[in-house]
Each structure stands twice: as C-alpha cells, then as structure tokens.
Structure 1
Amino acid sequence: MKKFIYSTTVLVTMLISCEPQQMETGKIGPAPINAAITTNATDPHNPIFTAHADNGYIFHWDMGNGQTIAPGANTATSYYPFVGTYTVGVTIYGEGAQEVLAETSYKVTKNDPEIAKKPVWKELTGGGTGRTWVYNTNPATGKPDYCYQTTGDLVNYKDNWMPSASWGQCDRITPDINGEMTFDLNDGVNYTYHHVAGDAGVKGTFILDTEKMTLTVKDPFILDHNAACTNAAAAATGVYQIKKLTDDELVLWQMQTHPTSTPGSGVGWGWSFKRKP
C-alpha cells in the first residue's frame, strides 16, 4: 500500500509539472498626480522652487532661463539677474515612466545690480548705465572701412584684416559710418542702434555669454552688418564672437564660410569699434 501511495504521489507531481505555466503580469503603480510648484523668493534673483506631486519620485527642471536640471531633487534654484517673466517647469516621473508636468511663472522686476559689476558685462555696458560704441575709424572719410574680411581659419586673424572695399565685393563707404550702438542694463537688457548719431534709434535687446564670449544682437543688428555682402544665414543669427573687449575697444567676429582641410580656406568677417569719446 505504501508503495502504491508513493507511486501515485510521484505521478501527480509529474502531471502538475507538465501543466502550462502562467507568468505573473506586473502591475504599474499609480501615476503622479496633483503636481504643483511653490516659490520662495526671499532672494529675488536666486529663488528656490519646490515641486510637489503624489507618487512622484524623479524631477526634471526647466528653469525658464536656459538652464535645465535633469534629473534633480524636488527643490531647485537658479540665477535670474534680469527683469523679465520666466516660465519655470518641472516634469515629475513616477513608476513606469509615468509623468506629469507642473509650471509656474516667475517675475523679476529689477535687474540685479551686481551683474553690471561682473567682467565683460561691465566693459560692454559701462557698468550697466550704458556704453556707446562707434566705428574705430575716421567718420569724416569713412576710411579705413572697418568692416573686414579675412580667412576663416583665424590663424592670421590679428594680422590679416583687410578693409572690405580693398577686395572689391562691397566697394562703398559704410552707410552708417556715423552711426552708434549702445548697450545698457537700465531696467532690462537693452540694445539701441542709431543709423546716425542723435536719431531716435531702434531699440532691441542682446544676449551676452561670458563663458563662450559671444554676443547675440536681437533686433535690429550691429553697425554695418553687411546683409548684402555676408552669408545671409550667418548674419541672420545675430551671433558674434567677441575677439577683444576693453573699456575702450570692441572687436566682433562672425564666421561666414567654414574652412575646409585646405589651409587658409573659409571666410570670416570682423568689425572693430571704439568707445564713443
């Protein structure tokens, strides 16, 4: 009898082991909900944002000023030195990559006075109150024409500048030879173009990247941007490399045709300005 029971037990075990196996299906937890951002603006130029969400664990921040923090904690801070309204957003992730977005608007009503004291900003804007730049040339004759063309490899950048009129492509006196351009930080980031000194001017703005040493002019353009003679796509960006900047001199550069493997290939344009006396 014992032998029979044992054999039956083995048979049942074998039959069970031959039955099709069913995998347990994993279940995704609840998605993050009730997302919100609170703001601590004790320091108006360095606010602290805190994100809240039920079932949220990972936070990807867009600070609204060009900075992203991803991944980050549920709190984040950034620097807002200039007047403006910024949209700060955070994407909050939960289980199974489920996500929810929260946004808040942050308004800065006054520039941080410290920004005007920082290198590059101080020289370009005259300490924030405004600095006006004119051509580094003789305005009576327009010569030399300080819009320059040289090879794009920049190897001989300092020694290989040629007045544009000397190589024939733009044989004319610069049309705004008596013009001016002013950069200031008076309740904003302001740029003003004057075709002739004393006219009403055209107001725009600018972006200064002190790490990459680039200046982006937004509406309208720098003095003699040469739309007819330069690469239209390059000119349209409004982005210039700052090759030299002191309290008295500003040199801007823009690549027009990128160099190839051939030495001396490529074309770049440069502009030389001086502080208005």
Structure 2
Amino acid sequence: MKNNGLIILRSFIATLFLVSLGCEPIEDRDYLENTTDVAGVQLVATQSTAGGNKIELNMASPGVTGYWDYNLGRAYSDKVEFVYPIPGTATFTFTGTLGAEFFTKTIDVQIDQLDSALDQDWYDLVSDNTSEGKTWVFNGGPSPDGGRWWYMSPPNDPGAWATAWWNAAGDCCPPADAAGSMKFDLDGGANFTYYSGPDATPQSGNFVLDVANQTLKINNANILGAEEPRGNPDGLYTIISLTEDEMVLYVANNGGGTGWTWIFRPE
C-alpha cells in the first residue's frame, strides 16, 4: 500500500510539473531589425538626356522595400520610369521600411527641357505651349440656353454621364460662376487659376492629371460650377472626355447624393 501511494504521489507531482511547463509563455525571439539607417538609403535619379524630362528613379539599397511617389502617381516598386511634364526642380519621395521602422526620403531632379513628348492629354489640357497654358469656360450660357453643360446625372455611373436627370444650367439655374473661367498651365508647376467672372480676382491652386486612371484633381481652389452641393469637396473628378476642343468631367456622388456633369470648351 505504501508503494502504491508513493507511485501515485510521484505521478501527481510529475503531472503538475508538466502542466506548469505548458502554462509558461513562449517568447518570440524573432525581433525585426533595421538593415540600414535613413542616411544609408540610396536614391538614384537618371535622366535620359542632360536636364531632360524622361526620368528613372531607383531605390538602390538592398533589404529596403517601399514605393515611389513621383507626383503623377505612385509606383509600388524600387524602380520607376516616366516622362515628367513640368520643367524646374521636381522633388520625388520614396516611402519604405528599414526593417523595424518606416521612413520617407526625397530626391530632387532638375528638369530644363521637355525633350520627351508628353501624353496627348497634357497638351489637350494645357495646350502645346505648356508654360503659357490654356483657359477653359463652360460650353454654354452663361444664361439658361437649353443646352447641356452643367447638369444632374445618375450617381456612381460614369457611363451615364450624358443622362440629365435635371438640366440645371440649361433650363433655369446656372451656377453663380457661369461666366467665369479656369486656366491650366505648367509654368514651373502644375498651376490652376480660377476666375469666378470676367473681372474677378484670381484664385490660385494646383492640379494633378492622372492619365492612367483618367482623373483630374484640383487642390486649393474650385473648378467652375463647384458650388455646394454640386462639386466634390476632395476636388477629384472623373475625366469622361479630354480633347483639344472639349473637356467633360463627372463626379459620382456629390453632397446632394447624385452624380453631376460639367462640359467645358477652350475660351
């Protein structure tokens, strides 16, 4: 009996020991470590010609991952090549991880000549004289004229841009700036200038033309006819058409809960 009791006691102690081992936390000893520091991240810019606007950006440091913001868009890779439309000093940004922490680093590129042709959309928007620019006005009005140039459209459907649920400007109610204008140019930057009327004080901003995704974003200013709730507070518009003689923009869901269409022509 004594031997049996001793065996049971030893088994109980062994069980407690195993349970206690199972309850101890398992430490994760795989710590992230930086492969370099920010100063060690090598950003390289190569131009196809001296001062030219065809540029290749390369993040040349091994063990670093991230993406390029080259102002016209983002490239989720270490290397990107593009034709830049704006002369002057351009700043490009690489955002990435060193391993244990995130970082951003920039590189400046001096562009003295637009010797590589731009996508046609740029010339259609700002003219062949990119520094002089181009002025756009509504393709109608400024009084109600029965035409379609600023109207309510079905929401969330760029394909339905031509459908007018309510032909606001053509029937009765043009925007307050129906006689205004807006200018796009590339004189040292992607410049946007808004005039609410022929004698109005200009309002300056800038723009981003995304050719690949066919969007136009206006920053720090308004396009014509952006009065609430018609426009987009974020300044982002879908390009339906952009030619030398016409620009059609659409917003999918404005503050009024509908779509809206703008039709412009060169001044």
TM score, norm. by length of structure 2: 0.69
Q: What SS does the aligned partner of 2:178 have?
A: coil
Q: What SS does the aligned partner of 1:236 have?
A: coil
Give how far 1:236 is off: 0.8
Distance (whole Å) between structure 2 residues aligned to residue 197 and residue 111 of structure 1: 34
Contact 1:63–1:89 (CA under 8 A) maintained in structure 2: yes
2:66 equivalent among 61, 84, 103: 61
Q: Does structure 1 residue 92 correspond to structure 2 residue 98?
A: yes
Instruction: Name the CA shift for 1:192/1:111 in 2 (closer, same or farther; >3 Å).
Output: farther
Contact 1:214–1:239 (CA under 8 A) maintained in structure 2: yes
Distance (whole Å) between structure 2 residues aligned to residue 151 and residue 218 of structure 1: 25
**Corresponding residue of 2:118:** 117
1:163 equivalent among 163, 167, 182: 167
Distance (whole Å) between structure 2 residues aligned to residue 208 and residue 30 of structure 1: 39
Distance (whole Å) between structure 2 residues aligned to residue 48 and residue 174 of structure 1: 44
Distance (whole Å) between structure 1 residues aligned to residue 28 and residue 263 of structure 2: 67
Q: What SS does the aligned partner of 1:252 have?
A: strand
| Alignment map for 1:69-148 (pairs within 5 Å) | 69=76, 76-79=79-82, 81=84, 82=86, 83-93=89-99, 99-101=100-102, 103-110=104-111, 113=114, 117-127=118-128, 128=130, 129-139=132-142, 141-144=143-146, 146-148=149-151
Contact 2:93–2:106 (CA under 8 A) maintained in structure 1: yes
Instruction: Name the CA shift for 1:198/1:78 in 2 (closer, same or farther; >3 Å).
Output: farther
> What per-residue deviation string (whole Å, max 9, x for no partner) do you get for residues 13-64 of structure 1?
xxxxxxx9xxxx9975993354312343341652544444xxxx63212323
Instruction: Name the CA shift for 1:245/1:102 in 2 (closer, same or farther; >3 Å).
Output: closer
Structure 1 unmatched runs, 5+: 1-19, 94-98, 259-265
Instruction: Name the CA shift for 1:34/1:199 in 2 (closer, same or farther; >3 Å).
Output: same
Contact 1:217–1:239 (CA under 8 A) maintained in structure 2: yes
**Corresponding residue of 2:205:** 204
Contact 1:37–1:102 (CA under 8 A) maintained in structure 2: no
Distance (whole Å) between structure 2 residues aligned to residue 77 and residue 166 of structure 1: 46
**Corresponding residue of 1:275:** 266
Structure 2 unmatched runs, 5+: 1-17, 19-26
**Amino acid aligned to 2:251:** Q
Give how far 1:160 is off: 3.8
> What per-residue deviation string (whole Å, max 9, x for no partner) do you get for residues 235-258 of structure 1?
212111111111111111111279
Instruction: Name the CA shift for 1:92/1:273 in 2 (closer, same or farther; >3 Å).
Output: same
Q: CA RMSD in A?
A: 3.6
Distance (whole Å) between structure 2 residues aligned to residue 160 and residue 61 of structure 1: 44
Q: What SS does the aligned partner of 2:69 have?
A: coil
> What per-residue deviation string (whole Å, max 9, x for no partner) do you get for residues 95-134 of structure 1?
xxxx355543212344762577312111011132311100
Instruction: Name the CA shift for 1:269/1:185 in 2 (closer, same or farther; >3 Å).
Output: same
Distance (whole Å) between structure 1 residues aligned to residue 169 and residue 103 of structure 2: 56
Instruction: Name the CA shift for 1:50/1:172 in 2 (closer, same or farther; >3 Å).
Output: closer
**Amino acid aligned to 1:209:** D
Q: What SS does the aligned partner of 1:41 have?
A: strand
Q: Number of residues paired by the alignment?
A: 228
**Amino acid aligned to 2:140:** T
**Corresponding residue of 1:175:** 176
Distance (whole Å) between structure 2 residues aligned to residue 205 and residue 116 of structure 1: 22
**Corresponding residue of 2:33:** 31
> What per-residue deviation string (whole Å, max 9, x for no partner) do you get for residues 172-195 of structure 1?
342112100111111101111011
Distance (whole Å) between structure 2 residues aligned to residue 173 and residue 77 of structure 1: 44
